[in-house]
A and B are shown apart, each in its own frame.
Chain A
Amino acid sequence: MRARSVRGGVAIVLATALSITAAACSNPGSADEGAASADSAVVGIAYEPDSLSPLLGYGKDGNSKIFDGLLALDEDLKLRPALATALPEIGDNGLTYTYTLRRGVKFSDGEPFGAKDVVFTYRTILDKKTNNPSRTELDAVRSVEAVGDDRVVFTLTYPYAPFAQRTVLPIAPEHIAGGQDVNSGTFTTRPVGTGPYLLTKWSKGEKLSFRANPAYWGGEPKVKRFTMAIIKDDDVRATRLRSGDLDGAILPPNLAEGFKGENGLSTYTAKTYDYRTVTLPTHNEVAGDRAVRRALDIAVDREAMVDAILNGAGKPAYGPVPTDSEWFTKGTERVHDLGAAKKILDEAGWKPGKDGVRTKDGVRAAFPLWYLTGDKLRQEHALAYASDARKAGIDITTEAGTWEVIQPRMKQDAVLAGGGSPADPDFDQYALLKSTLAGDGFNNMAWYDNKTVDEAVEAGRRSGDPAARKTAYDTVQRELAKDPGYTFLTHIDHVYVVGSRFGDLTTQVEPHDHGLASGPWWNVEKWNPEGADT
């Protein structure tokens, strides 16, 4: 190429780029249409799903908008029928669950839904070749069979009382997902389901756009267009809510505070099972001592944490079950009492040393506490815990790290952990406390080992009788007060700000994960916005 023609080429490229820029600079301000129309809603959330395929774990706790499960959870987290016509018939002493399916339901591509889809969904999830990280939750299932076109029978290997709660997981269409690679096929990003909404676009890292399913078996939703904008940064989310770009968003309590009393916006505080706890590993010679655990349990000032760290949006936690849950055992609350904590330590032989830190048989009452790097809430909990412990003469050093750094140390070091799933007490307590699960992935991080608790959580999951289950979980909570393997600190409320024009909204009791499936938009298909066609 001659120099002259190259010069010409460069000029053309520059001219093109310039015209694009010039076009981009024109007509600002025309952006505000569309978003504000009566029958559309745009909400800002902090996390996005990894995949939209139920076969890979999407929507396993229900409420996936694009899909339906056999059952669904209502506002009070009670099970109600969805793709099944009724709650399951439980037979064979809790070993078989039979579901009768709703007839006439169609997937959004027009194909009918049937028993084969249910069988396909569960069998695919249970297949080891499927990259589903939550498969363990269906461990109890031995087999799933279709009986005719509208009945499905699950057979379990052991009686598992909360099994029906697991069947809120979404059903995938066999005729689409069955013909492609489960782990990377187009179904993972372009899902087709029976739910109230159809996915119109998923721009990863930006937003998920939904359109109302006109043929939804539960009636067409009034909010015709629903968008979840993915905005990781709390401040940016608040900013975009204020600029009118969003109709609603999840916000940390301190940012939500700024929207209180604002015209046209309502604040919702969702109660949760979302706890923050400190693991006290049994393999640590200090944290493993029952006296130290009990002392720490009453030396921490939970009320102060709720006020200072959570701006009051939360409550003290004494175990995985929040104090306002029906499963909570009244009387297991522990009052903050530094004097009593010191007394316990004195009696157990932990004597104060020169620097104020106690020692026993040459062992210094000190251990590290890890928290996840960048998680401000966990950091603040960890620092407050260490400062409370110090007052009782226990020296806790806080350290930040990623899970890769923390996991190998979990056997000896304490960790500021979080979790919580409200659907059934078994979900949290079995994995947290069962001694056989010690060190199994992130299960039983504290290597907690208590025979009475082991038996109680086992009884709790096997018994089909609610009263017997309540007794079992009462035992667990009383035992946790006597031998706390963890110091539970707080249950954290999730705060949302949403436009008032959508009417009075409700929230469910929420799990640790939040924003996508829960939040006031848990039932957006039932919303009745002002000005929408009725």
Chain B
Amino acid sequence: MARMTARRALSAVPVLIAVTFGVFAVAAASPFDPVKAYAGTAGLTASQENLDQLRANLGVDRPLVTRWWDWLTSAVQGDLGVSSVMRMPVADVIGERAGWSLLLATCAFVIAILLGTALGVLAARRPRGALDRCVSSAAYTLEAAPAFWLGLLAIWVFALTLDILPAGGLTDAGSDTVTFGQVATHLVLPAAVLGISQLPWFFLYVRQGVTDALDEDPVRGARARGLSERTVLLGHALRSGMLPMLTLIGSRVPELITGALLVETVFSWPGIAAATVQAATSVDFSLLAALTVLATAAVLLGNLLSDLLYGLADPRVGFDG
């Protein structure tokens, strides 16, 4: 198991390097102009000479490979460069924001997994029952609903109509200090929306997995032996029904990142996702490359995690190595 982890870590290196080059290449080929993005509205009145000077100052007139190599070599030495859109070192941008995104994503993930599993098991217990029909159709609807729309809906219901939760931000707009209570109340809506937008996948997988497992011989055997319904359901059916879901956990990570992107925007959450969009549309090479490395690493870790969990949950599945 340790060997598998080490081997995966090793193979991640060329993947990450290739991804950064890909980011530079795609960004360079994109029609967006980093100088225009940097200059913002001022660029719309700037003279050509002024813009050309900016291009030289920002170093974006150099060839793609040179820029990438410079970034990579200094990144390896711990210098991630300066973000042109945030006007500060990339390390500071990530340091200030990654924590808030991680908090949001973790809470959302936990909500999705716990709620999804619980509802899935309950629905599988009585397939075609009232609860199953209700939750299943809700799940299909949710799957089609964009997180953005859910966010606006949540704001409308909980912030506007009921006025029990804040509509956005990390803290109250008027408050400067970040306190636990403030962050906690502001986290509820974005975490719930992001979690609920992920929930259908977990619910549907668990429901299907557990329903199938309930029909399998081992479960029938367990029932026949007179074990309690509870033990059969949780100890036998859920255990084998969980297997596909463990793979899902890993593969949902990228979706979680893109979902967070929209949710962070709707709720003005000062996380890393909002910065990613800005970096991409402004062709902020340094920031974009660093963020892509982070996202890629998250996906690789997610896959590793699901493989490890799978191995732990089902002893028949060995660790590859």
Contacts and interface: CB of A to CB of B under 8 A. Distances in A.
Interface of A: 1, 3, 6-7, 10, 14, 17-18, 20-21, 23-37, 40, 42, 44, 50-51, 53, 56-57, 60, 128-131, 133-136, 183-184, 186, 188-189, 200-201, 203-207, 209, 211, 225, 227, 229-233, 235-236, 239-240, 242-246, 402-405, 419, 431, 437, 439-443, 512-513
A404 B33 contact: yes
B130 interface: no
Interface string B258-272: 000000011011100
B257 interface: no
Main secondary structure of the interface of B (DSSP, over half): helix
Contact of A20 (B38, B82, B103): B103
Given A27-B184, A40-B174, A227-B173, A240 B31 contact: no
Interface stretch (B12-20, B106-114, B211-219, B296-304): B106-114
B167 interface: yes
A28 B163 CA distance: 10
A31 B172 contact: yes
Nearest to B114: A18
A356 B275 CA distance: 50
B86 A204 contact: yes
A98 B160 CA distance: 55
Interface in B172-189: 172-176, 180-188
Nearest to A210: B176
B170 A206 contact: yes
Interface string B148-172: 0000100110011001111111101
B87 A35 contact: no
A42 B174 contact: yes
Contacts of B127: none
Contact of B270 (A186, A203, A245, A431): A203
B135 interface: no
B168 A245 contact: yes
B43 A442 contact: yes
B11 interface: no
B142 interface: no
A245 B161 CA distance: 13
A227 B185 CA distance: 20
Given A131-B58, A227-B173, A404-B32, A205 B268 contact: yes
B107 A441 contact: no
18 contacts: A3-B1, A17-B106, A21-B110, A28-B188, A29-B185, A42-B174, A51-B87, A131-B58, A135-B53, A189-B86, A206-B270, A229-B173, A236-B152, A239-B156, A403-B36, A404-B33, A404-B36, A440-B47
B94 interface: no
B40 interface: yes
B40 to A, nearest CB: 5
A225 B176 contact: yes
Contacts of B50: 133, 135-136, 441
B97 to A, nearest CB: 8
B256 interface: no
B303 to A, nearest CB: 16
Interface string B119-162: 00000000000000000000000000000000010011001100
B174 A227 contact: yes
B291 interface: no
Contacts of B172: 31-35, 245
Nearest to A242: B160
Contact of A201 (B47, B155, B176): B176
Nearest to B103: A20
Given A31-B182, A243-B163, A441-B48, 10 more contacts: A32-B172, A34-B174, A50-B38, A134-B45, A204-B270, A231-B168, A236-B155, A245-B172, A402-B31, A440-B47
B159 A243 contact: yes
A403 B34 CA distance: 12
B193 to A, nearest CB: 13
Nearest to A418: B44
Contacts of B86: 189, 204
A119 to B, nearest CB: 22
A24 B274 CA distance: 22
B1 A1 contact: yes
Given A31-B165, A419-B45, A441-B50, A209 B184 contact: no
A184 B173 contact: no
Contacts of B159: 239-240, 243, 245
Contacts of A437: 47
Contacts of B222: none
A209 B171 CA distance: 12
B268 A206 contact: yes
Nearest to A19: B110
Contacts of B54: 131, 133
B185 A27 contact: yes
- Counting from the closest, the 7 A-B pairs by CB-CB distance are A133-B39, A35-B174, A133-B42, A404-B31, A42-B173, A184-B82, A188-B87
A370 B40 CA distance: 19
B279 to A, nearest CB: 12
B88 interface: yes
A139 to B, nearest CB: 8
B309 interface: yes
Contacts of A205: 268, 270, 274-275, 278
B283 to A, nearest CB: 10
A6 B313 CA distance: 11
A186 B96 CA distance: 14
B234 interface: no
A284 B309 CA distance: 66
B224 interface: no
Contacts of A50: 38, 40, 85, 87
A50 B34 CA distance: 13
Contacts of B87: 50-51, 53, 56, 183-184, 188-189
Given A17-B107, A246-B173, A184 B1 contact: no
B227 interface: no
B159 to A, nearest CB: 5
Given A31-B186, A204-B270, A402-B31, A133 B173 contact: no
Contacts of B184: 23-24, 26-27
A1 B1 CA distance: 7
Contacts of B109: 17
Nearest to B186: A31
Contacts of B43: 133, 441-442
Given A31-B166, A246-B173, A440-B47, A402 B32 contact: yes
Contacts of B311: 3
Contacts of A6: 1, 308, 312
Interface string B34-70: 0010111111111111110110011000000000000
